[in-house]
C-alpha cells in the first residue's frame, strides 16, 4: 500500500457558515462541498452534523464538522495551545507579510513573523479557536540536505535524552 496524499483533515467548528465565510474571506479558501447527515455513517449513531470541505490548494482539503448536539468544544488542558495547529504553505515572504497586514486590518491578532530558519511564519486563531500558521519557505537545498543527513541521529539522541539534540544547533546560528 502506498499513501497518495491526504484526502482531507477534519476539525470541529462552532458554526459551519461562519467557518466557510471566515476561511474564504481571510485565507481565500473556496467552499468545495457540504454534507449533512442525521446519522454517523461509520457507526450509525444518531447524531446530526454538517460536514464542510474547503479548498486548501494543491488538491488538499480542510474539512470541519459542526455537531450541535455535543457539548461545546474545549482545548486539551494538558497540551500547550502552540502545539496543535493547522499550517498552510504560501508562496513568498511578501505574501506572508501582505496577509499579516490584511488579517490585522480585519481585527485578527497575528503573532510573527517567526523565523524557523527553514521557513518564516505567522500565527493566529480561527473563529473556532484553532491555531493557524501560514509558512513561507526560506530553506536552501544545502540546509535541507544537512537536516536530512542528521535526522536519524537527532531522533535517536532525543529518544535517549528528551533534550534538543546537538545536531539541531546549526538551525539557530
Predicted confidence (pLDDT) per residue in 145-157, tens digit: 989 999 999 899 9
Mean pLDDT of the chain: 93
* Cell triple for 6: 491526504
Q: What is the pTM of this model?
A: 0.91
Q: Across residues 6-17, what is the average pLDDT? A: 96
SS (HEC) of the chain = CCCCCCCCEEEECCCHHHHHHHHHHHHCCCEEEEEEEEECCCCCCEEEEEEEEEECCCCCEEEEEECCCCCCCCCCCCCCCCCCEEEEEECCHHHHHHHHHHHHHCCCCCEEEEECCCEEEEEEECCCCCEEEEEEECCCHHHHHHHHHHHHHHHHHHHHHCCCCHHHHHHHC
Q: What is the pLDDT of residues 39-66, one digit of tens each?
A: 988 999 999 999 999 999 999 999 999 9
Whole-number pLDDT of residue 5:
86
Q: What is the pLDDT of residues 99-139, one digit of tens each?
A: 999 999 999 999 999 999 899 999 999 999 999 999 999 99
Q: What percent of the chain has pLDDT over 90?
A: 83
Q: Across residues 23-52, what is the average pLDDT? A: 95
Whole-number pLDDT of residue 3:
85
Whole-number pLDDT of residue 50:
96
Whole-number pLDDT of residue 168:
64
Report residue 165's pLDDT band, with 50, 70 and 90 as the boundaries: confident
Radius of gyration of the chain (CA): 19
Tell me how far CA of residue 151 lies from CA of 36, 37, 44, 136, in angstroms: 43, 44, 43, 22
In the predicted structure, residue 4 carries a pLDDT above the cut 90: no
Report residue 164's pLDDT band, with 50, 70 and 90 as the boundaries: confident
Whole-number pLDDT of residue 167:
66
Amino acid at each position: 500500500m502506498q499513501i497518495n496524499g491526504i484526502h482531507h483533515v477534519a476539525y470541529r467548528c462552532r458554526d459551519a457558515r461562519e467557518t466557510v465565510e471566515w476561511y474564504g474571506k481571510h485565507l481565500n479558501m473556496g467552499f468545495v462541498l457540504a454534507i449533512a447527515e442525521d446519522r454517523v455513517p461509520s457507526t450509525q449513531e444518531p447524531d446530526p452534523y454538517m460536514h464542510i470541505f474547503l479548498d486548501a490548494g494543491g488538491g488538499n482539503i480542510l474539512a470541519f464538522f459542526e455537531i450541535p448536539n455535543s457539548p461545546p468544544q474545549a482545548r486539551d488542558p494538558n497540551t500547550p495551545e502552540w502545539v496543535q495547529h493547522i499550517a498552510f504553505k504560501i508562496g513568498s515572504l511578501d505574501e506572508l507579510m501582505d496577509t499579516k497586514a490584511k488579517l490585522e486590518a480585519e481585527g485578527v491578532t497575528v503573532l510573527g513573523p517567526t523565523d524557523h530558519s527553514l521557513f518564516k511564519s505567522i500565527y493566529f486563531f480561527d473563529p473556532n479557536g484553532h491555531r493557524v500558521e501560514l509558512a513561507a519557505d526560506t530553506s536552501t537545498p544545502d540546509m535541507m540536505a544537512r537536516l536530512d543527513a542528521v535526522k536519524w541521529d537527532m531522533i535517536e539522541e532525543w529518544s535517549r535524552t528528551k533534550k534538543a539534540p546537538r545536531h539541531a544547533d546549526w538551525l539557530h546560528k
